[in-house]
Structure 1
């Protein structure tokens, strides 16, 4: 068996992955593995030739058993109390994750109180505390009161599955607490003295930067040195992601390599015997891993570094595939579910690429740089080979998790990685000096602060380059498999192990492989739109957001959803739900953005959408303080100024952030148009949207801003959709009185299915199905029981985003198919 550990680890991984697909009890998997172990032992004693196969099956079953054990161990009775206000006592068993507006703790539960009921419980809980300046530490025993909840499944296809993410960490429930008094410390008892010491030292070292650097510089320094990302703002994190250097903020092989190199350099400077290198460096690496939080990337790098150190120390062969396999096996024995962690996958993929592909790329680059002096050609070839190999090996994973490709990644890494080494070195020096005398640390941090600023400006520069990032839809698994198969084939062909005759025969298939990959790429990227009309009613909680995709490849977004204060904070539904969804399905631009009315649950995410996607035209309702005059309808018009009144005819205040957004869109070249009854938006040859309400007649007072909502009717061949915004009874009555043709196959229910519904509107529309965009467990009583009864009485099939998730209709103009995000029903 060539490299047996690699093969055995592969079998173990296959078993772990099978455990995620098959609902097998741990006891059964363990029983099967035990029988297989006995068979393997008997085969060894009897020298059975086929015993190798039994051993492979044993490792597979062992992986299956360990995977199921990890899943079953996370089960907890706390799930029974989901959705209730409880008091929970437990011990903090990990370093707190401090964010700008909240703190997350990993709590090992001990006791639950609900009213007069007190119960001893077990299980891990993610404790979220908002509006509190107190931060508790590792080992503290606390009592917390709040809402216990099990995370909801994602409502939109491809959305982030928070429930599964936590379950793979052994967490089934979240306790949401708010305020200083919601959490109190009752005792202190460190779980692991060594980990407690490491975290205490980390806190002391981190505090040094706080006293002499700005908040943003401190966050970056702690991110680089310790992988602490909670206080790094979202824009900075996005810049690192889009330039392909986000790995710098997560302790990984780069950081372990810098620590290892620094320690070896220090030992040589002290002229200590080489025999002491491995014994002295190993505990330093282990302690650094304890300080940085056991993430998969740092574990992989530390294990491989320690194995290679000791192999050199003992004079053993250093075989990187075996070393990688052993590192993976150790991590997955400790926690089999780490296989699903993006950090685990990206770390091993990048390392494989560097070790497998970089020699080939290095030789190729060296050949291209022959014209340069030898002393320059070799370092340049090596400098290019390493980041290029890592990028090639991680492209499918980055596209899968982040939906992007960063062409500037190689250049960005060439510039910022050396700066990272300097920042880490000065950061460690200042941290140590800070424990002796703070003024000395401040002197070092002055220089480090300048370098950090240069570092950040370098990242911003690369982010701002044309074509710095391309957002792509989530790639199909077959394309990823073809990509990695191609990389392995290239490595095999140029490794020197391939015989010339075989190499010549295989080369003929290279063109076929390239053609196949090109075909898969063309299928993957939706260049020319689909074969019909698709309407996506997104699950954005208590709000509205609808995406229309036409057969010609045009995109119209009706409303953007929004959470409370999203106008002010700029973060919420727009950046966390709508933008990721649009990117995952391959939307690159919006031809039309409709904001039915200014309420935050409909337009709060618009600023983020406009920032992330090119928008050709925005359509808004006519109101007193938003006078957007169009001389030639919605095809070509002139945008006039926005009046700065506090209130409109409805008596409600129009958010100033909404007015500022319209101004910004107009200044940015987006055609902002006011729409009224009778206007028509032509999306493509067979798809048009008619504005049915309200009219543009001046002087007519509207009762409230909901009744200013644009009501739209989309028609594609024989099928039609009605979008009603938040219109209430007055507007519904006015809509009926216009005498317009309201008949439609699909009705988006007005105002989230509230009780302000005229049954006559449903009769006039006479839909096959109705969609209610509504948030789960909302405080408004939506949808109203009377509304549901009206729809049921008229035989209308009801879809609700709180229960069904996203509701996606596809039609060829004659038939309708519907798919929902949570239960995948298709009709």
Structure 2
């Protein structure tokens, strides 16, 4: 059997996936594994010719057993107390993960204190504390009082599943503490002394940057050197993500490689015998891995570096597929569910590309660069081949997890390697000197800040280049399989001798493979039209955001959701929920953005969206008049009178909302006001009419809620009415206006509050009602009386707190409904 460890690892990985997906009983799997082991021992003893098959089955079963054990053994009895205020005694098993407004820890539960009684418990808890001034350390024993909860599963299909992410790391519950007095240190329980010392060293070293650099540069430097990302601002993370070098901001294989290269160079300068390289480098690499958090990429790189070092030290042959397989096997034995971690997948895919594809690409570019200096040609060929190989090997994974590809990632990585090497060297030097005398660290970091700023400037320059990032809908898994099949086919053909039977077989498979890839691409590509309209009631928690995709391929977003203080912070629902949802389904521009009224839960996410999505038209209310005729606003007046046309309601317009409207108008977005009787001409196949507010009428006592835009959308025989947050007074006036309100789908006003007139339900006469509402909200939405009224009327109810996103597709006659929590 050639390279048996590669085959064993592949089967073990298949077993891990099988165990997670099937829910196989541990006892049965363990019995089968023990049986296989005994048969394998007997087969080896008696030289049974089928024994290799038994050994292969054993590795498959081992993966299954370890997977089930990892899932079942990590489940904590604290799950039964989710949703309750509890007091917990536990030991910290991680350092502080510091953010701008809170700090996270990983806590090993010891005792639950409830009703004056102490109950022994076990399991890991993710602790969130809203106090960044007093930090605790690994091994501290704490008494913590807070709200225990299990994260909700995602409501939007394809959204990041935070609950599953934590469970795969052995964490089933989180404990949220809003009062710093609710956390008390009651002792110390050292834990692993090496881990404790490594985290103490990390904390001491990272303070050198914190005290001697501006906050933004210090955050980047500590991210590059120590892997602490919590204080890196969102714009910087997005810039690195969109240029294909986000791995730079957390310690990865590149950092381990640079550290090893630095150690080898240092040993050479100090005239240390090559025979001592492996023994001396090993503890340094292991300590650095522990200090930076032992993420999958660091583990992979450290294991491979050590294996290569010791193979060279012992004079053994180096076989990279076996080394790569062994590194994967060790990580998955430690935690089988790391197989799902994006860092694990991206790290191993990139390494496979570097080792398998880059030699072929370098050879190709050497041929291409014939005629120039061999030294220059070799450097250029290697410089292009290495990042290109990594990109080719990770494109499907990057598209799957981030919904983008970055054409500028090759020049970005070429620039990053020398600059990151310099930043890493300067950062470690300054951190070390800072322990002797802080001004020495400041002296070194005076140069470091120049390099960091240069690096950030280059990244931002590349990000702004036309075509620097291409956003894609989430590709189907089969397309990823076809991509890797194509890479293996092409590389296999290149490695196979010309004219050999194997090469002839590969050539015969080419037409079928190309046809399959083309079919998958056609199926995946988000073709516009299709004579079907899709309406997405996105799950944004307590708020509204509704996407309408018309038969002609137009996209209209009604509200953007928003969290408290999102106007001020610029982060929340817009960047974390709505934008990812749009990217995943292939929406990269908005033909119309409707903001029903200026409350943050309806338009807080708009600031992020207008900065990151092209928007043609913004429709707002209640501001100055004008009808929506689909033509651009004239250049000699503010579009829709945005600058000073806000209708007075008695409720103060948030300054951030006014600034948002001005920014949209200044950035070339056509901003228009709307009132009853206006028509939005977005697509000739659909009819969108504005039913409220009355342009010249009073808005009403509920202020901005009663100023909400109300839209009725008709496509064929299917109709939808979107009512914003209108309350009783606006509902009464709409009934008196005599407007046609009858609709198949009724988006309930104000998240299903009790302010719903039965007469309005009768007038709309819907078959389906949608309540956009947040789980566990403190407003009592939806009101039981409202839900009862709809049931009495025989209306089918969908709620985003229970069903997640509600996705309706219609051909103009029949409406089909899918929900996020049932389809994800």
* Aligned twin of 1:734: 733
The aligned residue for residue 190 of structure 2 is 190
Counterpart contact for 1:607–1:661, Cα < 8 Å: yes
Give yes or no for contact 2:278–2:313 (8 Å, CA) kept in 1.
yes
Q: Deviations over 1:108-138 (max 9, x none)?
A: 0011123434321111000001144211011
State the alpha-carbon separation in 2 of the partners of residues 730 and 701 from structure 1. Answer: 6
Residue 349 of structure 1: CA displacement? 0.1
Which whole-Å CA distance do the structure 2 matches of 1:95 and 1:319 have between them?
37
Aligned residue for 1:637? 633
Shift of 1:189: 1.9
Question: 2 CA distance for matches of 1:216 and 1:700?
Answer: 46
Q: Which runs of 5+ in 2 are unaligned?
A: none
| Distance change >3 Å, CA 338–CA 632, structure 1 → 2 | closer
**Deviations for 1:554-611, whole angstroms, at most 9, x for unmatched residues?**
1110110011111111111111000000000100111111111111111111111111
C-alpha separation between the residues in 1 aligned to 2:553 and 2:627?
28
Q: Point out where structure 1 has 5 or more consecutive residues left out of the alignment.
A: none
2:566 alignment partner in structure 1: 566
Q: Secondary structure at the match of 2:88?
A: strand
2:628–2:679 contact (8 Å) kept in structure 1 = no
Alignment of 1:583-594 (within 5 A): 583-594=583-594
The range that moved more, 148-157 or 685-694, is 685-694
Question: Is residue 511 of structure 2 the alignment partner of residue 486 of structure 1?
Answer: no
**Structure 2 matches for 1:282-297, cutoff 5 A?**
282-297=282-297
CA contact 2:574–2:606 (8 Å) conserved in 1? yes
Shift of 1:509: 4.0
C-alpha distance in structure 1 between counterparts of 2:25 and 2:178, whole Å: 38
CA contact (8 A) 1:216 1:232 kept: yes
CA distance in 2 between partners of 1:461 and 1:363 (Å): 31
SS of the aligned residue for 1:494 comes to helix
Alignment map for 1:21-100 (pairs within 5 Å)? 21-100=21-100
The answer to whether the Cα contact below 8 Å between 1:530 and 1:550 also exists between their aligned partners in 2 is no
Q: CA deviation at 1:251?
A: 1.4
> Deviation digits for residues 421-462 of structure 1, max 9, x if unmatched?
011111111122222222222221111111111011011111
Q: How does 1:293-692 map to 2 (within 5 A)?
A: 293-496=293-496, 500-507=500-507, 509-623=509-623, 627=624, 629-630=625-626, 633-638=629-634, 639=639, 641-642=641-642, 649-692=648-691
Name the SS of the counterpart of 2:822 in structure 1: coil
Q: Which residue of 2 aligns with 1:816?
A: 815
Cα deviation for residue 463 of structure 1 reads 0.5
Deviation at residue 511 of structure 1 after TM alignment: 4.7
Aligned pair in 2 of structure 1 residues 188, 644: CA closer, same or farther (>3 Å)? farther
Structure 2 residue 766 is the aligned partner of structure 1 residue 770? no
TM-align CA RMSD: 1.5
Is the partner of 2:713 in helix, strand or coil?
strand
**Deviation by residue 1:523-559 (Cα, 9 ceiling, x = unmatched):** 2121324441111111111101111111111111011
Give the paired residue count.
820
Moved more, 223-232 or 56-65: 223-232
Alpha-carbon offset, residue 777 of structure 1 = 1.1
Structure 1 window deviating more from structure 2 (214-223 vs 427-436): it is 427-436
Asked if the contact 1:649/1:701 (under 8 Å) is kept, the reply is no
Q: Aligned pair in 2 of structure 1 residues 183, 499: CA closer, same or farther (>3 Å)?
A: farther
Distance 1:115 1:704, change over 3 A: farther
| CA 1:116–1:189: 2 relative to 1, 3 Å | closer
Give the Cα–Cα distance (whole angstroms) in 1 for the partners of residues 443 and 785 of structure 2: 70
- Residue 44 of structure 1 contacts residue 51 of structure 1 at CA under 8 Å; is this kept in 2? yes
Shift of 1:738: 1.0
Report the alpha carbon displacement of residue 640 of structure 1 after superposing the two structures with TM: 5.4
Measure the CA separation in 2 of the matches of 1:264 and 1:462. Answer: 33
- CA distance in structure 2 between the aligned counterparts of 1:367 and 1:34, rounded to whole angstroms: 55
Q: C-alpha distance in 2, partners of 1:230/1:791? A: 46
Q: Which residue does the alignment assign to 1:120?
A: 120
SS for the counterpart of 1:823 is helix
Distance 1:72 1:499 in 2: 54
In the other structure, the counterpart of 2:174 is 174
Q: TM-score, normalised by structure 2?
A: 0.97
Q: Deviations over 1:62-110 (max 9, x none)?
A: 0000000000111111011111111111000012211111111000001
Q: Secondary structure at the match of 2:172?
A: strand
- 1:792 Cα deviation after fit: 0.8
Q: CA deviation at 1:333?
A: 0.5
| Cα distance in 1 for residues equivalent to 2:44 and 2:230 | 52
* Distance in 2 between residues matched to 1:679 and 1:459, nearest whole Å: 45
Alpha-carbon distance, 1:632 to partner: 6.5
SS of residue in 2 equivalent to 1:141? strand
Structure 1 residue 802 corresponds to structure 2 residue 801: yes
The 1:129–1:780 alpha-carbon spacing in structure 2 relative to 1, beyond 3 Å, is same
Shift of 1:342: 0.4
What's the CA shift string for 1:351-408, capped at 9, x where partnerless? 0000000000000001111132111000110011100000000000000000000000
Q: Structure 1 644/718 Cα, relative in aligned 2: closer, same or farther at 3 Å?
A: closer
How many Å apart are 1:416 and its aligned residue?
Answer: 1.6
- What is the CA distance between 1:17 and its match in structure 2? 0.6
Instruction: Work out the CA distance in 2 between the residues paired with 1:675 and 1:185.
Output: 58
State whether residues 89 and 144 of structure 1, in contact with CA within 8 Å, keep that contact through their aligned partners in structure 2. Answer: yes
Task: Quote the offset at 1:199 in angstroms.
Answer: 1.2
**Farther-moved stretch of structure 1 (4-13 vs 636-645):** 636-645
TM-fit CA distance, 1:699: 5.9
Counterparts of 2:70 and 2:628 in 1: how far apart (Å)? Answer: 65
- Looking at structure 2, the residues matched to 520 and 633 of structure 1 have their Cα atoms a distance apart, in angstroms, of 40
**Residue 140 of structure 2: aligned partner:** 140
